[in-house]
Structures are given as structure tokens and as C-alpha cells.
Amino acid sequence: MDFTREYAIGLDTGSDLSYREEFYIKEDGIYLDGNSLGLLSKRAEKSLLDLLDSWKHHAIDGWTEGDNPWFYLSEKLGKELAPIVGANPREVIVSGSTTVNLHQLVSTFYKPEGKRTKILADELNFPSDIYALQSQVKLKGYDPDDHLVQVKSADGHTLREEDIVAAMTDEIALIVLPGVLYRSGQVLDMEYLTAEAHKRGIEIGFDLCHSVGSVPHSLSDWDVDFAFWCNYKHLNGGPGSTGGLFVNKRHFGQVPGLAGWFSSRKDKQFDMEHVLTAAEDAGAYQIGTPNIFSMAPIIGSLSIFNEAGLERIREKSLKLTGYMIELIQHELDGHGFILRNPLDEKKRGGHIYLEHQEAARICKALKAEGVIPDFRAPNGIRLAPVALYNTFEDVWKTVQILKGIMEEEKYKQFENKRGVVA
């Protein structure tokens, strides 16, 4: 492969997917933290301002009037999100947050009975999921040390599907796994794991926070029972933007574990009855009043995704991460970096995960040079070249900057300690 800057520029010239001008990007910087918080797009900015304007002009009537009536916005965005996760529109709703939605879904699907009393998860998942699962086990009167089973990783970075399947014993009542591991970027075979779980009579759900918007899904066709995710990473919905969830239509009609005001069927909600008439689709899994201004940017952002098409986004994402891996292997050899991503692109998500014993201070040095990475304790550096707004030249520059930091030992001027927010 050609490792010159000219080659990178040529790759950009040959790309037919570029929405870079749609986003607010610092001219003198390279943003590679879209796997934690995506950049603001001009369309997302406009949709937020439009909903502020609807409050200004309609006041309370904004619930039923305007271009995006608030009362139906969760359902409307669910329909927009459905193609991105491969679902029937009625199976998706925009509501809550990642952890709130996980609590809701586990409260509904975790039904310990007889020997089946345990939840199966893994030891590499994001901490918040484990906190929630521990809480749910406790609420059922069990000890998480015994009833939350976490599949071990053979290498500390990836999971083997065969190990997960082996842990699907007759004691397991529910399975919750990540779609993409946040550390290594490994994509789990969700279709295979779902089929194996169902063979054993176990319901299964996935955390899609690190895969939604970067990896195609076919949740309905795979017959996944449920899924949940945030919309502020690859989907660029803004800090704290409202999350999303999927519930397979096979489960429509059951009362949600955590019923609330917006769990109601729309035509019954304002009858003010004290017996819930739950929505007959994924809307039943809403709890409280939707956070309209936290949902507003998602309107604009999703218009970009549905215009660009997720297959094209995935194709360019794989080219960007593949190019970055080749550059890292060529330019950074001998500098102490360990690449933790699977090299098989079918198993690789949208970000690169490097380990280095000086990772915290290397990330600070990158920031000082205008590159925004993501540090993960204790020694991880995540770099996400996002298909919609990053370029191959961004990738080339980043690796050259990183090479310079290592060769000139620029990182040594910083403390090897994470900030308050890593």
C-alpha cells in the first residue's frame, strides 16, 4: 500500500460519500471521538431551532400542531430509526436513555421461575449495563454474585461466541449482550447468538450503543427479542439526546415492567383512567413525558442517515478503519502500541482501539496537536474515523501526528492520568 499523503487525498477524491460540509468541524482540528459524541450537523441544529420555534408559536398546542407535533414525535422518530436497525416501524420507539430503557426492558423480560433465575451477560460490557443488571437481580430478591453470570473473555478484549453459547444453561432466564464491544470494537454475531438462545428457550436482547449508525442490523429478521441504544454517538443526536429501543412484535400486548404515563395507547391516554391501556407496539415501553428538545436534533440527523444509506456508511467506515489499521501497523511499529480490534472486517465496528502503557498522556498530547481521541482507563485509546465527516486525509494526518508524538516523546510533558471525564 502507498503510505503517502497524496494517496490519502486520492482516496478522498474517489469517495462518493461525503457529508462533511453538513457538520460543524474545526478547520484546524481532527475529530475522532464520534464513537462517544457525534458532531453537530446543520440539519440537527435546524431541527432543534424549529422545535424551539414551535414552542414559541404554539405553546401547549405544540403537542398536536406544527410540523412535528410533540405528542407523536417518539413514534415518528421510531419510524425513521427502523431502517437503521432493520426493524418494523412499530417495533422502534425513541424514548428514555440507555440505562432507563435497559431497566424497562429487563423489568419486562426478566421473569425468573423454577431453575431459570439467572441473567447472562459478559465481563467486557459497559459498566452502566452491569450496574443496571445487578439492580434488577437484586429487585427480584437474588444475589448478583450468583445470579448475574458474566461470560469471561479469553484475551481480556474480545468474546468468543462459542463461550457465550456454552454459558446458555438451563439456569439462564435472560441474556443481555453488547452488539459491539466498546473496548475492542468487536462486532458480535447477533443473528447466531439469538438463534442459539431461542433454541434453549431463552430471550435475548442487545445493547447497540456502539453499533447503531455504524453497523447494519436486521433485528426483525434475526428475531431478536429486544434492543436498546443511545442516539448521541454515531447517530449524532447531541449530548444527552433521547435513547431508542426495539421490541420484537412477537411481544406486543404484554404490560411493560415499568408502566408510566406515556406507556398508554394514544387514544386512551387522556381518559385519565387508573388502569393502564398499554400501547399495542413499542410505544408501550415509554415511561415519562418525552424530552422534546433532547429529541429535536435527532430529526435532522436521521434525515442524513436515511439519505446516505447505512450500507454506504458501513462500506466507507470499513475502508477508513482498515486504512487506519494499515497505517498504524506500518508507521507505529516499535512504539509500544497494541491493536485490539479484530482484523476481520466483518467483526470490526466503527472505531479503532489501541492500548499503550502511556495512553492517558498520549491522548493529552494528541489533543494538544488538535486531534480529539477518546481515552478509556486503564490504557486504551479509541479513534473513530466517522464515515459522514472524517476523511482519509484525517486518518493519515492523525497517524503522522501520533508518530511524531512518540518519536519526539511529546507525551512526557503530560501526566499519565485521566481527566474527570475520560
222 has binding-site annotation: no
Contact assessment for residue 190 and residue 120, using Cβ atoms and an 8 Å cutoff: no
> What does R_g of the chain's alpha carbons equal in angstroms?
22
57 has binding-site annotation: no
Omega of the bond prior to 378 within 30 degrees of 0, cis?
yes
126 has binding-site annotation: yes
Whole-number Cα distances in Å, 341 to 189, 354, 378, 379: 15, 8, 17, 15
Residue 255 CA, distance from chain mean position: 27
Residues 6 or more apart whose Cβ sits within 8 Å of residue 156: none
Determine the Cα–Cα distance for residues 40 and 24; give it in Å rounded to an integer. Answer: 6
128 has binding-site annotation: yes
Whole-number Cα distances in Å, 346 to 309, 333, 380: 18, 25, 22
99 has binding-site annotation: yes
Residues 6 or more apart whose Cβ sits within 8 Å of residue 349: 180, 181, 185, 186, 187, 210, 211, 214, 215
108 has binding-site annotation: no
55 has binding-site annotation: no
Nearest to 74 by CA among 304, 279, 308: 279
Determine the Cα–Cα distance for residues 213 and 350; give it in Å rounded to an integer. Answer: 9
Contact assessment for residue 362 and residue 405, using Cβ atoms and an 8 Å cutoff: yes
289 has binding-site annotation: yes
Q: Please enumerate, by residue number, every residue annotated as part of a binding site for pyridoxal 5'-phosphate.
A: 98-99, 126-129, 207, 210, 232, 261, 289
Q: Please enumerate, by residue number, every residue annotated as part of a binding site.
A: 98-99, 126-129, 207, 210, 232, 261, 289
